[in-house]
Structure formats: C-alpha cells, structure tokens
Amino acid sequence: MKIERLALYNFRNLGPTELVPAAGLNLIVGPNAAGKSNLCEAVYYAAKGWLLKGERQRDVIAWGAHEAVLELTVNGDHVRIHLNGRARAKTIELNREKKTQSEVSALVRVVLFTPDELQIIKGRPEARRRFLDRSIAELSREYRYIVLEYEQTLQRKNALLRQGTPNPDVLEVFNEELIARGSRIITQRIEYLKTLNKTLSQHYRAIAGRASELTVTYETPLDLSSGDVRAQLARLIAQAAPQEIQRGMALVGPHRDDMRFDLDGHDLRRFGSQGEQKSALCAMLLAQLDLYYQRFGDYPILLLDDILSELDSRRFQRLLQLLPAGVQIFLAHTVTEISELHPAVRTAAQRIFLIEGGKVSVAL
C-alpha cells in the first residue's frame, strides 16, 4: 500500500502542501512546532476519520480559516476529504464519488506510532486496553463491533448500578450480554498476545543487539489455564454482585483487565529504562507488522512520529534496518538543520521533506 500523492489545504499549521512521497522511507524533518506531527496526523485522519486525542473535527482546520481539504492518491485511487467549518460538515469522495469513512478506511490502511504510545508501557491500564483493542480491531472488524457493544452495555449497567437498588431482571439481562461479549473479548485478547509473543523477543533482540526475553502477559482475575473463559467470567460477575451494587459500578470483565511487559523477567514498567521501554514498543510494532502482513498480504502505511528519540544510535540504526522492505514509511524526526541528521538516518531515507513554519520542501 503506497501513497502516491498527498495534498493539503488549510490543515492545521500547514500551508498549501503537495507531496510525492517515495515508496519506502520518507523522512519528515524540521524543528519543534514546524508541523511534522500535523503532517502525520493528516494522513492518519484521512484514513481513519478520527483524531487520536479526540479533538473536534473543526480543530484541524487552520485557525482563522473555514474549510480544509485533504487529498490522497493511494494505489491509483483518489481520496478527497473536504471539511466545512461553518456547516460542521465533512464530505468524503473516492474517485469523485461520495463515500463513507469506512469505505475509505478499508482502502487506506495506516498504523501510527507516536511518543504517546509509551503510555502503553508506562501509563495506566486504560492506555494498554485501548492499545490492545485498537490493534486487534485493526485485524478484525467484528472485534471492533463486539467492543463497542460491550462498552454500551457496560455504560447501561453502570447507570443502573448507580441507582442503588437495581432491578435484578434488568441487571441479569445486562450481565448476560456482558458475559457473552466480554468472554469473546478476553479470548481474542489472549489469542492476540499469544501470537505476538511468538516473535516479540526475536524483534527485541534484533533492536537491542543483545540476548533478552521480552514477553507480554494478559492480566485478569480469570484462571487462564482452565480454559472456560465464559463460565469463569459468569461466576466472577455473580460473586461480585453485592460489591458492585455497593460501589455502583461493574467490577469484573475485560474493562478491568491489564497486560504486563516483562524484560528478562522484570516488569518493564517499573524497572525498564526509557530506551528499553521504547525498544520494547518498537519490537511490538515489528511484531504487529508481521501479523498485519499475515492477515492482509500487504503492509499498512507506517506513520512513525518521533520514535527515534531516546534510542541510542546503534538501536535506531538497527530499527531502520529491521523495518520490512516494501513498507511505505513517514518518519517524523526533530532536527533544526538537515546537517544534524545522523548519517545512518540520512542514508536510509529515500526522500527527505523539510518542514519549517508549516512550509514543506523537498530536501532530498
């Protein structure tokens, strides 16, 4: 999957922009606040239709302007997105015909990695659950719907529990739904992590250049060795009933589970260095790319926003070499001058775009 042309008009701080990216590694370089992340976000937004930080759609229109346009040509197909700030309307076209976002999303597949992703390792369990769900949903549309349905039922159950004396019949109906969907979510999450674990250490070792064991484990009160996830979840939810009513919230289910990364047997969140945490994240990315390729027979477009900082030069050189050939990559990297670029990064790049004050120029 390749972007052959990208054009932007009034997208955040970026001036009128037209890019013809290379098929492989595209470097997006420039100083702080130049617009590098905005460029990555533009591609992400065009493909997914939503913004990572949950901002409003009109926030991406350049301040003072009333409309913005994004155009992507991907494998010969032409996607055009028009945002009208005044009408708060969005028009999506594919080859000049109106389409829905999901039709475009099925066609333009992207994976975005930003420094915020470190929260997967360092942050709260929500960040890990969101990452896990997003990653699995990337491979399975059905999973995304199950998660959505689970979350809707969960909200309704919590609203009921907050009333203090919930109607037991209604509670029962909600619980049945949560058990049915929750057990599928847990099963798929476990399955996904099991598959990731098959290659995770190998990728970590390749980046770190040393023999290490990186594993990711699903954390749940369920006994995973016993197998019957559905029956166990039903039992735990039944046991938790009095407590749930007392506290006014659902206390058992995939919305309370977590995952843990261990590097050579030590919890990476508590003991890992910044570089180790970042390397682990990059190993996750590589392992995910493997799964992606197995599922679709092609790689997604990779948007890597500032992932090289905190990696020492040996690690990032190895990472650049490890990214599979045939993936189109947009790698944003902060430098004030092109001359500051590490020679290895410069050599690996097929094209270098320099952004300064929202203006994009081709530097290589």
The residues binding ligand ATP (CB under 6 A) are 12-13, 30, 32-38, 59-63, 306, 334
265 binding partner (options Mg ion, ligand ATP, none; Cβ < 5 to 8 Å by kind): none
The whole-angstrom separation of Cα 156 and Cα 63 is: 38
Q: Between 232 and 334, whose beta carbon lies closer to Mg ion?
A: 334
- Name the residue with the smallest CB distance to Mg ion: 37
β-partners of residue 320 are none
Q: Between 63 and 96, whose beta carbon lies closer to ligand ATP?
A: 63
The whole-angstrom separation of Cα 309 and Cα 138 is: 26
13 binding partner (options ligand ATP, Mg ion, none; Cβ < 5 to 8 Å by kind): ligand ATP
242 membership: H or E segment, kind and range: helix 229-247
The whole-angstrom separation of Cα 132 and Cα 350 is: 32
Least CB distance from residue 41 to ligand ATP, whole Å? 7
Q: Between 34 and 283, whose beta carbon lies closer to ligand ATP?
A: 34
Which one of 10, 17, 26, 37 is in contact with Mg ion (CB under 5 A)?
A: 37
Q: Between 36 and 189, whose beta carbon lies closer to Mg ion?
A: 36
Show contacts with Mg ion in window 222-241 (CB under 5 A).
none
287 binding partner (options ligand ATP, Mg ion, none; Cβ < 5 to 8 Å by kind): none
Q: Say if residue 199 is exposed, middle or buried (CB neighbours under 10 Å; 0-12, 13-18, 19+).
A: middle
DSSP class of 14: B
Site for Mg ion (CB under 5 A): how many residues? 2
Q: DSSP string covering 95-139, please? A: TTEE--HHHHHHHS-EEEE-GGGGHHHHS-HHHHHHHHHHHHHHH
Q: Between 332 and 348, whose beta carbon lies closer to ligand ATP?
A: 332
Least CB distance from residue 11 to ligand ATP, whole Å? 8
Least CB distance from residue 355 to Mg ion, whole Å? 10
DSSP 3-state assignment of 35?
coil
244 binding partner (options Mg ion, ligand ATP, none; Cβ < 5 to 8 Å by kind): none
Q: Which candidate, 316, 327, 260, 252, places its Cα nearest to that of 289?
A: 327
Give per-residue burial for 219-244: e unless 16+ CB within 10 Å, then b.
Answer: ebebeeeeeebeebbbebbeebbeeb
Q: Between 115 and 275, whose beta carbon lies closer to ligand ATP?
A: 115
Q: Between 226 and 339, whose beta carbon lies closer to ligand ATP?
A: 339
The whole-angstrom separation of Cα 298 and Cα 173 is: 42
Q: Between 36 and 315, whose beta carbon lies closer to Mg ion?
A: 36
Quick check: 292 and 138 in contact, CB under 8 A?
Answer: yes
Least CB distance from residue 85 to ligand ATP, whole Å? 10
Least CB distance from residue 276 to ligand ATP, whole Å? 23
268 binding partner (options ligand ATP, Mg ion, none; Cβ < 5 to 8 Å by kind): none
Least CB distance from residue 336 to ligand ATP, whole Å? 10
> Tokens 């250049």 map to which residue?
209
The whole-angstrom separation of Cα 77 and Cα 98 is: 13
For residue 158 the two structure tokens come to 């919590």
Least CB distance from residue 33 to ligand ATP, whole Å? 4
> Measured on CA atoms in the order 336, 337, 343, 344, is the torsion positive or negative?
positive
Our finding on whether 38 is near Mg ion (CB under 5 A) is no
Least CB distance from residue 308 to ligand ATP, whole Å? 12
Q: Between 37 and 328, whose beta carbon lies closer to Mg ion?
A: 37
Least CB distance from residue 346 to ligand ATP, whole Å? 18
201 binding partner (options Mg ion, ligand ATP, none; Cβ < 5 to 8 Å by kind): none
Give the footprint of Mg ion on this chain (CB under 5 A). 36-37
